[in-house]
Structure 1
Amino acid sequence: MPSGSAADINVREEGQKIVVEPIGDWVVHSIAAIYSEVERLESGYDAGLIVIDLGRLGRIDTSGAFLLGRIVHQCSTPNADWHYRGDHPTARRLIGEILERVIDCDPDLPEERYGFVRAFERIGKGLEAFGNETLETFAFFGRTLTTFFSLMLRPHRFRVTPTVYVMEEAGVNALPIVAVLTFFIGAVVAFMGANLLETFGASVFTVELVGIAVLREFGVLITAIMLAGRSDSAFTAAIGSMKMQQEIDAMKVLGLDPYEALVVPRVVACVLMAPLLTFGAMMAGLFGGMMVSWATLDISPGFFIARMHETIDWSHFWVGMSKAPVFGLIIAIIGCKQGMQVGGDVESLGRRVTASVVQSIFMVIVVDALFAMMYLELDI
């Protein structure tokens, strides 16, 4: 078998067969000279009559195998033994790989559907993805619950230190930004209410507007959105980076349950800290509304607090507080679930972090609407 020679090709007829004899080295640096000849063979002869004689073929790489495969790929059986004669250590295997993976790939069908059909197709795919994501989230929630209850039966296995650490990171450290945001939300509600109610001579009802809005909705909602944007992304990024670096696989090899070590502490921390953050947010929102009422309506802080005690029922406070642990549970479950689904690349991590924040905020708003309808029916 010659080697170290330029690529060449010899074509001859033997009865009804067309024998193609590659000569020399068919590698990327030497096949340019015979490319046009291969194109002529591909278009000028019936692929079912071609036999490739490998007896004088030297070295060959995937580029040379691609050219030889083009000669016979139009045949219905391009890998049949009768297409080849002679011995070569690698040629048949390379040509077979090329025919299977490159040349014989089914061509993309032209897009012939109308625009509205494609739109419905995308809507259908989106609904299917939404259904699958919902089922996966409920499955993850179920697995987390079973792990939590198993830990309750074996309290010594519960990881207190990671839970306290997450409580500090997701709860205590988030209090300043949550308080600042709800302070301004309360101030905005009071300012808009003062301008509107003053036209009716009922500016004193700004106290009720601020109190009910902050206690029932804005305090817990702003807290949940901040947890989703600040802590949920951190959960996904932390667990996802461990997934990328195969640390979670190493935990499984060591006999550690990732749900027990990573998921349950974060879920417990969020469920416990969400009500505390919500309480701080409520106090900050009421303080912001009180300051604006004092500045614009000359309603003193003492009168503001006294009127709240007289006119606003405690049920509004408990309505807001009752939502907080549910929102904390939703946020932690979605963040940890997205982290567990991170693949092996950074792009996957970025997609999952984005999906975590978007899904958490979406679910918080949906569940808040469900709470509103439920409390409306219960007349609370």
Structure 2
Amino acid sequence: MLFNRSRETSRADGQPTVEQTDADGRKVLRLSGRWTTRTIADVDEEMEKFAGGAGRNPLALDLSGIERMDTAGAWLIGRFIEKANAKGTDVSLQGQTEAMDVLLTAIREAAGQKRPEGPARQNLAIRGLEGLGRAVYAARDDFLAAMNILGATIRGGQMKIGRGHGVNLAAIFNQIDRMGVGAIPVIVLMSTIVGAIVAQQGAFQLRYFGADIFVVDLVGILVLRELGVLMTAIMIAGRSGSAITAEIGSMKMREEVDALTVIGLNPVGVLVFPRLVALVIALPCLTIIANFAAIAGAIGITWTYSGIAPEAFLDRLRSAIDVGTFLVGMIKAPFMAMIIGIIASVEGMKVGGSAESLGLHVTASVVKSIFIVVILDGMFAIFFAQINF
């Protein structure tokens, strides 16, 4: 916004000037020249000195000599008035035009908006209850989104919105290869180490009672019922769950998900369904591999640490476990796979348009998946104990 006044300038070059005079017993600052962005630097220091030396006596600003003013000049005058008022000086304006009034009013309003009075700080109890309420509402939204994805998945691989079904076998096998076959090395390594650690610690404690052989019962039951499927699910949540969230989230950022909807395809059927089916197939298979790897690690440790030969280990294992022990772990695997896939997909669909949002939701996907998987494992353990299975 720019104000112009056609008049003879007080200086040949039109540079701004500030002159102090006395009129009717009060000080008057007469401003003249061009008060624009290019020129106000010449009087900035001078205006600072006048503002710093302002006393209790009233002060008038005479703007009649200003021939041009823009927002920068109005800001300088507004800053002067603010500092003078802070020292107790009553500043009045005279000689200004209507255009000047508009500029100065806008500067005052903008300055007032920059320093709003903050709301009263709430006490700790209210802030805690507010946070709890927000968490409950966020959990409700996540649950509804998860049920929407689960329902669409159970309905089938609906590729086109509202028209027929189609299962893309190539996409499913590709995801099985990435989530299942690609995870075998890390699952085998982790399970072997965990089985060896459990066997070593169990044998170390049981040898005080002369019951080294019972380490086979400990390893067999613990691995087949709990640790095999739980550790596999945690690894898949960190490896494949984060990948699902990152892939869907990246497509969401680039608006590829919206593009699928525009061309008539169902994003859940195209993106989520193959990954969920692949997880449900891959996780039980990986659990079986993890069980074998953990038992192999336990056999190696008990042979070298406790002198239990592999033949004796397998013979004792055969009598310590039954089909039910194996089925307990296998029943959990598909449920854990569905939870990991659904949570990862929901978090991927929630990604915004920034890389920061993608990182936050990938982290949330892994944390939530592991948390829910552990809770589900505990619930299954209680349930199977109640029915004596």
Match of 2:147 in 1: 142
**32, 36, 46: which one pairs with 2:48?**
36
Match of 2:317 in 1: 308
**Does residue 129 of structure 2 align to residue 128 of structure 1?**
no
Q: CA deviation at 1:34?
A: 6.1
Match of 2:185 in 1: 176
Residue identity opposite 1:145 in structure 2: L
Residue identity opposite 2:144 in structure 1: A
Match of 1:202 in 2: 211
Q: Secondary structure of 1:174's match?
A: helix
Q: CA distance change for structure 1 residues 101 and 208 in 2, over 3 Å: closer, same or farther?
A: farther
Identity rate, percent: 34
Q: Is the Cα–Cα contact under 8 Å of residues 228 and 331 in structure 1 kept in the other structure? A: yes
Q: Hey, what's the Cα distance between the residues in 2 that align with 1:107 and 1:251?
A: 47
Match of 2:335 in 1: 326
Q: How does 1:265-304 map to 2 (within 5 A)?
A: 265-304=274-313
Q: CA distance change for structure 1 residues 285 and 344 in 2, over 3 Å: closer, same or farther?
A: same
Q: Hey, what's the Cα distance between the residues in 1 that align with 2:333 and 2:301?
A: 26
Q: CA distance change for structure 1 residues 357 and 54 in 2, over 3 Å: closer, same or farther?
A: farther
Q: Is the Cα–Cα contact under 8 Å of residues 55 and 86 in structure 1 kept in the other structure? A: no
Q: Secondary structure of 1:255's match?
A: coil
Residue identity opposite 2:388 in structure 1: D
Q: CA deviation at 1:45?
A: 10
Q: Hey, what's the Cα distance between the residues in 1 that align with 2:157 and 2:217?
A: 43
**Does residue 265 of structure 2 align to residue 256 of structure 1?**
yes
Match of 2:109 in 1: 99
Q: Hey, what's the Cα distance between the residues in 2 that align with 1:42 and 1:220?
A: 78
Q: CA deviation at 1:205?
A: 0.9
Q: Is the Cα–Cα contact under 8 Å of residues 176 and 278 in structure 2 kept in the other structure? A: yes
Q: CA distance change for structure 1 residues 272 and 107 in 2, over 3 Å: closer, same or farther?
A: same
Match of 2:34 in 1: 24
Taking structure 2 as the reference length, what is the TM-score of the superposition?
A: 0.78
Higher mean C-alpha deviation, range 23-32 or range 190-199: 23-32
Q: Hey, what's the Cα distance between the residues in 1 that align with 2:247 and 2:57?
A: 61
Q: CA distance change for structure 1 residues 372 and 94 in 2, over 3 Å: closer, same or farther?
A: farther
Q: Hey, what's the Cα distance between the residues in 2 that align with 1:145 and 1:51?
A: 73
Match of 1:346 in 2: 355
Q: Hey, what's the Cα distance between the residues in 2 that align with 1:292 and 1:27?
A: 80
**161, 167, 177: which one pairs with 1:158?**
167
Q: Is the Cα–Cα contact under 8 Å of residues 2 and 24 in structure 1 kept in the other structure? A: no
Taking structure 1 as the reference length, what is the TM-score of the superposition?
A: 0.79
Q: Is the Cα–Cα contact under 8 Å of residues 38 and 67 in structure 1 kept in the other structure? A: no
Q: 1:304-339 CA deviation, whole Å, 9 max, x = no partner?
A: 222222221211111111111111111111112112
Q: CA distance change for structure 1 residues 59 and 139 in 2, over 3 Å: closer, same or farther?
A: same
Q: CA deviation at 1:103?
A: 3.2
Give unpaired runs (5+ residues) of structure 1.
75-83
**226, 229, 254: which one pairs with 2:238?**
229
Q: CA deviation at 1:208?
A: 0.6
Q: Secondary structure of 1:359's match?
A: helix
Q: Secondary structure of 2:34's match?
A: strand
Q: CA distance change for structure 1 residues 284 and 110 in 2, over 3 Å: closer, same or farther?
A: same
Q: Hey, what's the Cα distance between the residues in 2 that align with 1:288 and 1:240?
A: 38
Q: Secondary structure of 2:353's match?
A: coil
Residue identity opposite 1:362 in structure 2: F
Q: Secondary structure of 2:117's match?
A: coil
Q: 1:62-95 CA deviation, whole Å, 9 max, x = no partner?
A: xx454456659x9xxxxxxxxx84348xx94896
Give unpaired runs (5+ residues) of structure 2.
7-12, 86-95
Q: Is the Cα–Cα contact under 8 Å of residues 75 and 107 in structure 2 kept in the other structure? A: no
Q: Is the Cα–Cα contact under 8 Å of residues 19 and 53 in structure 1 kept in the other structure? A: no
Q: CA distance change for structure 1 residues 254 and 155 in 2, over 3 Å: closer, same or farther?
A: closer
Q: 1:201-221 CA deviation, whole Å, 9 max, x = no partner?
A: 111111110000100111011
How many residues are paired up?
360
Query: What RMSD over aligned residues (CA atoms) do the two structures have, in Å?
Result: 3.8
Q: Hey, what's the Cα distance between the residues in 1 that align with 2:194 and 2:243?
A: 25
Q: CA deviation at 1:230?
A: 1.0
Q: CA distance change for structure 1 residues 29 and 159 in 2, over 3 Å: closer, same or farther?
A: farther
Q: Is the Cα–Cα contact under 8 Å of residues 163 and 265 in structure 1 kept in the other structure? A: yes
Residue identity opposite 1:367 in structure 2: L
Q: CA deviation at 1:36?
A: 2.7
**201, 205, 209: which one pairs with 1:192?**
201
Residue identity opposite 1:291 in structure 2: G
Q: Secondary structure of 2:156's match?
A: helix
Higher mean C-alpha deviation, range 336-345 or range 25-34: 25-34
Match of 1:370 in 2: 379
Match of 2:118 in 1: 108
Residue identity opposite 2:303 in structure 1: W
Higher mean C-alpha deviation, range 22-31 or range 158-167: 22-31
